Structure 1
Amino acid sequence: NNITGTVPKELAELPALRKVDLSNNNLYGKLPEFRKNVEVILDGNPNFGKPAPAPGPGGSSNDTKPGDESGGSNKRSSSTGVIVGSVVGAVAVLGLIAALGFYCYKRKQKPSGRVQSPHAMVIHPRHSGSDPDMVKITVAGGNANGGAATSEPYSQASSAPRDIHVVEAGNMVISIQVLRNVTNNFSQENILGRGGFGTVYKGELHDGTKIAVKRMESGVMGNKGLNEFKSEISVLTKVRHRNLVSLLGYCLDGNERILVYEYMPQGPVSQHLFEWKEHNLQPLEWKRRLSIALDVARGVEYLHSLAQQTFIHRDLKPSNILLGDDMKAKVADFGLVRLAPADGKCVSVETRLAGTFGYLAPEYAVTGRVTTKADVFSFGVILMELVTGRRALDDTQPEDSMHLVTWFRRMQLNNDTFQKAIDTSMELDEETLASVSTVAQLAGHCCAREPHQRPDMGHAVNVLSTLSEVWKPADPDSDDSYGIDLDMTLPQALKKWQAFEDSSHFDGATSSFLASLDNTQTSIPTRPPGFADSFTSADGR
């Protein structure tokens, strides 16, 4: 890491510490006294044990000889001139220093697009509210030889200076060696999938926790890839929702840029929707598709309106929707997420279009300006895919039906053609067909050409929840003699239960019990002696 300085004694005070690897740095000074069970590795520190290097000269002073006290007023005039000249010179020097400082500050404010390894660290002192198992370390960008720092923060929301990275030990930073071990050195057998900026691997930690490791390809990690990496960390550390994939940690080691997520064992929805035969899966039934649509709608609704800030995903599609063992869906891949302005107006997207063709809203594709309604359009396309089982863009289809949204609108014109558009792998009955028709109408509204004609995600959640979470009472069992007749009074019901218990020991007791239901006076207990006829609030107190 090219860390320079002394080893802070606070590290030796961490009670859960077992191993400290400080190899290949530029450390000096004495080593704090660690516990006997702590392994300390200091290889590759040639200056360790030596005293700190002496600071450079702070400047020189010129000796001055006292002037001759003779000369009277001429000498006093000369002294006044010297004082005035000194003041003017000092003001000029201070102005020059201020201008130089402002220039350096403005240069620091400009993002360099590069992240340089840190060189020095500062240990923050503990306070009464500190976690005893955690120490907060500030790693500052700087050159050991006096060069200018060129790093910038990994989190866009950081309030620290742009050349300072704040790391909390034991929080979200994961060692590259740990990730190599759990993925078998990023072996081909552990690959879950590939994306535009890297490969996703499956891993398992020592405690049995399964993780998904997204490793950015160094060859494509330019400014754009680095921005997506930072964006994903920034967003996922701010939002937590049951329908959004959780970020477990990240790794920054040399050229390595790695994100670690919770593992979603059933993979993306696209496999179950378009490739179920190739993967020997069962086709999704309609109730499951409804549940997936509702999960996605709730996750996107949270991003749009329920989080502390409004986020626009910009890349909603089935391959970015992952399924757990319970087939619950979660939205993933937040590399293209943008923060919407507080006033709700359009936000300009930098330089180039981002997203996936087939899911892009028309106004976004034409103008490059995006609002939350662009996500609504993408969600509408996903609904159409769930209904039809067809991809948003399918080059195996004829040219006039290659684009799903255009083809779907034509098929919705009459009932006969619409039923032909429904995925044939689903079993349809009258109730299911009505539900599919409602979702198809919602999909059409979400894919309206004008943004203001599209509903918000809250409306989509309301529509889908009424279809997916319909409560129905259980069918009554006419032979269930334990059932409760709601027309009975409580004394009558108690007497009936008592008689039924007696009937299990005596034949014919049931008929006598039914005949005696008319007289219920004896089942009401008499009032004890001295018991008041009524009570007031004062009696209760």
Structure 2
Amino acid sequence: MGLRILFSVVKNLKHLTIPLSHIKLATNDFSETYKICHMEGSTMYRAKLYHHDKGNHSSKRYNTVLIIRYPFGDEYYTEMDFLTEIEILTSGVKHPNIVTLLGFCIEAFEMILVIDNISNGFLGDSLENIDKKRILTWEKRLKICIDVAHALNYIHSELDDQKMLIHRDICSYNIGLDENLGAKIVHFWRSVFMPPNHEDQALHLELVGRQNYVDPEYMNTYKVKRESDVYGFGVVLLEILFGRLANGQIYTNEGEKGLVFVARQSFYTGTLDEMIDPIIKEETVENSFVLNRGPNKDSLHTFIAIAHQCVIKTQDKRPTMKVVVNELEKALFFQVSHCSNFILSMPRSNLFDYLS
């Protein structure tokens, strides 16, 4: 599909078009100064740019945004993929934990999306960076997981007109973190809408997604269901628990078959605790001046149990995202209650120092 045809398809979205000249001015002609990362062929920039205000076609605002520049004519990311992402993000898919499309540019062999600023980068970055990972206390990790779970539950079962969306590429690098570490799902170009009233059926589609996150039943049969997203999310839960990405060498050395295989074996042998991120384990050290003191036992066990259910090999045995949300919120409740009880049990003199 050429740019002319592509543009004609989105002609009803003219209010979202942003001139290339504006984007070049904002990024100083795509200067390295504004570049934040290069991923899967796309290059991301952070800059201040005029764009239409959310939900208001007649109003514009000037603020910091994320600019994603895709290569035109690339086999990996095609014009149809670009169109798919625009269509999905302008089709009524709106949720606080799903990125908002602020505008796009199709001009001079450029394909560019402008989305919410993700000021704290991607979850994958935080799990690879020791300093960023230390900020992610157990409670903050639970809240990130709950944010993503709510977004997945929304696209799986709460869209209007009986629609259901399958993301097909849930992974730590498709989860952005805002200034408050709130999580937002990004990158919908591999996503597909299921026909109405087909929520319990499967689509037969070509295999896409990152190897370490792909649903094994989808991989073997090419049948994709919403439970395929549940599996990918289960891998993310394990990454957050262990503080390592699924492609880490520790999971592939000595003939190991990946994070899920190692986690599953450890779950059955009762040695999973040995794999937990030492950073959150350290939070459990008695220290009356640290509010988040690490995983409460009930919180941790609830989290581990639901993560294990999410990565079950068979699609139909995995929980729905509604169940996942409930279990993660239960884990957060145990954790918050644990911290609250700790505060209330402290001597009054120590409590003043603790809260000051």
Name the TM-score class by shorter chain: 0.7 to 0.9
Amino acid at match of 1:347: L
Structure-2 separation of matches of 1:240 and 1:151:
23
Q: Paired residue for 2:246, among 371, 392, 396?
A: 392
Amino acid at match of 1:228: D
1:237 aligns with 2:87: no
1:166 aligns to what?
12
Structure-1 separation of matches of 2:102 and 2:244:
33
Q: Please identify the structure whose Cα radius of gyration is greater.
A: 1
2:287 aligns to what?
none
Q: Aligned to 2:296, what secondary structure does the other structure show?
A: helix
Q: Paired residue for 2:2, among 110, 114, 124?
A: 114
Deviation at 1:282, TM superposition (A): 2.8
Structure-2 separation of matches of 1:396 and 1:477:
41
1:212 aligns with 2:212: no
1:447 aligns to what?
311
1:433 aligns with 2:297: yes
Q: Output aligned runs, 1:182-197, within 5 Å.
A: 182-197=26-41
Q: Paired residue for 1:202, among 46, 60, 78?
A: 46
Taking structure 1 as the reference length, what is the TM-score of the superposition?
0.55
Deviations 1:297-319 (A, max 9, x none): 00111111111221100111111
478 and 259 in structure 1: CA distance in 2 versus 1, 3 angstrom threshold: closer
1:296 aligns to what?
148
Q: Paired residue for 1:355, among 195, 209, 234?
A: 209
Q: Aligned to 1:200, what secondary structure does the other structure show?
A: strand
Structure-1 separation of matches of 2:249 and 2:133:
24
2:289 aligns to what?
none
Deviations 1:485-540 (A, max 9, x none): xxxxxxxxxxxxxxxxxxxxxxxxxxxxxxxxxxxxxxxxxxxxxxxxxxxxxxxx
Q: Aligned to 2:111, what secondary structure does the other structure show?
A: strand
Structure 2: give runs of 5+ residues left out of the alignment.
Answer: 51-60, 285-293, 349-356
Deviation at 1:414, TM superposition (A): 4.0
Q: Aligned to 2:43, what secondary structure does the other structure show?
A: strand
Structure-2 separation of matches of 1:193 and 1:478:
48
Structure-1 separation of matches of 2:315 and 2:95:
26
1:503 aligns to what?
none
Q: Aligned to 1:218, what secondary structure does the other structure show?
A: coil
Number of aligned residue pairs:
317
Structure-2 separation of matches of 1:307 and 1:153:
27
Structure-2 separation of matches of 1:197 and 1:320:
14
Structure-2 separation of matches of 1:412 and 1:317:
22
1:466 aligns to what?
330
Checking the alignment, whether the CA contact within 8 Å between 2:138 and 2:295 is kept in structure 1 is no
Deviation at 1:203, TM superposition (A): 1.1
Checking the alignment, whether the CA contact within 8 Å between 1:211 and 1:261 is kept in structure 2 is yes
477 and 445 in structure 1: CA distance in 2 versus 1, 3 angstrom threshold: closer
1:486 aligns to what?
none
Checking the alignment, whether the CA contact within 8 Å between 1:358 and 1:403 is kept in structure 2 is yes
Q: Paired residue for 1:366, among 220, 223, 242?
A: 220
Q: Output aligned runs, 1:9-28, within 5 Å.
A: none
Structure-2 separation of matches of 1:399 and 1:361:
23
Deviation at 1:390, TM superposition (A): 2.1
Structure-1 separation of matches of 2:6 and 2:345:
70
Deviation at 1:180, TM superposition (A): 0.6
Structure 1: give runs of 5+ residues left out of the alignment.
Answer: 1-112, 117-149, 156-164, 480-541
Structure-2 separation of matches of 1:182 and 1:151:
25
Checking the alignment, whether the CA contact within 8 Å between 1:411 and 1:418 is kept in structure 2 is yes
1:413 aligns with 2:268: yes
Checking the alignment, whether the CA contact within 8 Å between 2:299 and 2:332 is kept in structure 1 is no
Q: Output aligned runs, 1:303-314, within 5 Å.
A: 303-308=155-160, 309-314=163-168
475 and 418 in structure 1: CA distance in 2 versus 1, 3 angstrom threshold: same
Deviations 1:438-466 (A, max 9, x none): 11111111111111100010000011112
* Percent of residue pairs identical: 28
Q: Paired residue for 2:259, among 404, 417, 423?
A: 404
Taking structure 2 as the reference length, what is the TM-score of the superposition?
0.82
1:84 aligns to what?
none
383 and 198 in structure 1: CA distance in 2 versus 1, 3 angstrom threshold: same
1:226 aligns to what?
79
Checking the alignment, whether the CA contact within 8 Å between 1:393 and 1:402 is kept in structure 2 is no
Checking the alignment, whether the CA contact within 8 Å between 2:127 and 2:133 is kept in structure 1 is no
Structure-2 separation of matches of 1:424 and 1:353:
35
More helix as a share of residues: 2
Structure-2 separation of matches of 1:154 and 1:193:
29
Deviations 1:69-95 (A, max 9, x none): xxxxxxxxxxxxxxxxxxxxxxxxxxx
Structure-1 separation of matches of 2:154 and 2:100:
14
1:456 aligns with 2:320: yes
1:246 aligns to what?
100
Give the structure, 1 or 2, with the largest relative contact order (CA under 8 Å, sep 6 or more).
2
Q: Aligned to 2:305, what secondary structure does the other structure show?
A: helix
Checking the alignment, whether the CA contact within 8 Å between 1:395 and 1:402 is kept in structure 2 is no
1:383 aligns with 2:237: yes
194 and 223 in structure 1: CA distance in 2 versus 1, 3 angstrom threshold: closer
224 and 266 in structure 1: CA distance in 2 versus 1, 3 angstrom threshold: closer
Root-mean-square deviation (CA), in Å? Answer: 2.4
151 and 380 in structure 1: CA distance in 2 versus 1, 3 angstrom threshold: closer
Deviation at 1:246, TM superposition (A): 0.8
Structure-1 separation of matches of 2:110 and 2:3:
11
Q: Aligned to 2:114, what secondary structure does the other structure show?
A: strand
